[in-house]
Amino acid sequence: MRKLDLYLIRQFITFLGLILIGFQLIFIIVDVFENLDKFIDNKVPLKVVILYYTYTLPWFINIGLPMAVLIATVFSMGLLVKRNEWTAMKSSGISLYRIVIPFLFVSSLVSLGSFYLDNSLVSLGNEKKAEIKNEYMKRKSSNSKNKQKVLKDLFFQKEKKLHLSISKFKVRDRSADKVTLISLKNELLHQRVDSKKMVWQDSLSLWKLKDYSIRNFDEQGMESTVVISSEDTLMNVSFTPEELVQKYKSPEELNIYELNTRIKKLKENGVNTVRWEVAKHFKISFAFTSIIIMLFGISLAVINPSGGLSLGAGMSIFVIFSYYAFIKFGQSLGIKGVISPLLSAWMGNIVFIIGGIILLKLVRK
């Protein structure tokens, strides 16, 4: 049986590598055409474009792995059926569940690699890619629309003494909603400023706060004075709008450990953390995608032997896009607060692993 396992693993890995390379070429070509006007309008140097796609490649690999695993499984198992090797295995008393083991072994390794890739190279690459966009692609392309960019659930820290949290920041208007500014002194709370809205005053290089409250604390950390006002006031918040945009990191730019730290800080400052929690749980759940998709691949290859590889490949593409649509739907429900962040990230996995197991039981053993 060891020779059979090695044979199946070698065939599967060969297909996986070739298909993954093919997906990367497709992803890069499509993305180049999509961003070509931005590169031209902003006169981005060729070496920067190459660097941009070097940083993007880990993300392309990560999202392409589940699709490559599914199609590689269909082709590997489909060839066994086409060559009548599967018939010979069944005649020898080898069940379909036994055939799953080498595929399960490789897909498990792929899942572990996907988790490591996502929390190291992908998050780092997304951060570097965002820096390139801010530096070289700030100007709008000829086909872009003048849309208001909104950043949500922000947290910034300066010299560990100043914490700024913002629920929503509108980049074009240079305005922020639900702002909390916390100042520390000797590691104790010194002052807390809360404002429903603050707007940048360019002529004064200050922020105008509306509907604000200022709470001062003594050396023991006890509240000493409170000022609550519905009028406007000017204040130096130590961050300019440009700094807020440059220092902002999306959940995709943080690994799971950084997300845990960010969630803790946001909760301490009373900021909604749902979007960040969904992203954290999704990083874990997405790593299991290759295993779940592999179960479908085995079943699709043997459920209709007369259909050939083309039918299996077509059905596999339908399955993978349905899976991606389902997990995106779950994420949107989680971000909107309809379901918990944990359930939203795992909902697609739960549904499809049940479907994969049922389908595997329905096919002929």
pLDDT (tens digit per residue) in 227-278 = 898 888 998 888 888 888 877 888 888 889 888 988 888 787 777 788 889 9
Assess if residue 363 is contained within a domain: no
Angle of helix 46-82 relative to helix 96-117, nearest 10 degrees, comes to 170
Assess if residue 124 is contained within a domain: no
Contact 78, 303 (CB under 8 A): no
Could you give the count of Cα atoms lying within 13 Å of 42 in the half-sphere of its Cβ?
22
How many structural domains does the chain have? 1
What pLDDT is recorded for position 361? 81
Q: Phi and psi of 197, rounded to 5°?
A: -155, 140
Assess if residue 169 is contained within a domain: yes
Assess if residue 178 is contained within a domain: yes
Q: Is 84 helix (H, G, I), strand (E, B) or coil?
A: coil
Assess if residue 255 is contained within a domain: no
Average pLDDT of span 36-62? 91
For the cut 50, the answer to whether the pLDDT of residue 141 exceeds it is no
What pLDDT is recorded for position 309? 62
Assess if residue 221 is contained within a domain: yes
Assess if residue 131 is contained within a domain: no
Residue 283's nearest CA partner among 262, 254, 249, 320 is: 254
Over residues 196-234, the pLDDT tens digits come to 999 999 888 899 999 999 999 988 878 889 989 888 899
- The count of other CB atoms within 10 Å of the CB of residue 125 is 24
The two three-digit tokens of residue 269, written as one number: 């400052």
Average pLDDT of span 305-334? 78
Structural domain harbouring 220: 150-248
Contact 38, 141 (CB under 8 A): yes
In this prediction, residue 307 has a pLDDT band, given cuts at 50, 70 and 90, of: low
β-strand partners of 207: 200, 235
Assess if residue 167 is contained within a domain: yes
Q: Is 206 exposed, middle or buried (0-12, 13-18, 19+ CB in 10 A)?
A: middle
Residue 150 belongs to what H/E stretch? strand 150-158
**Which positions ≥6 away from 362 have C-beta within 8 Å?**
299, 303
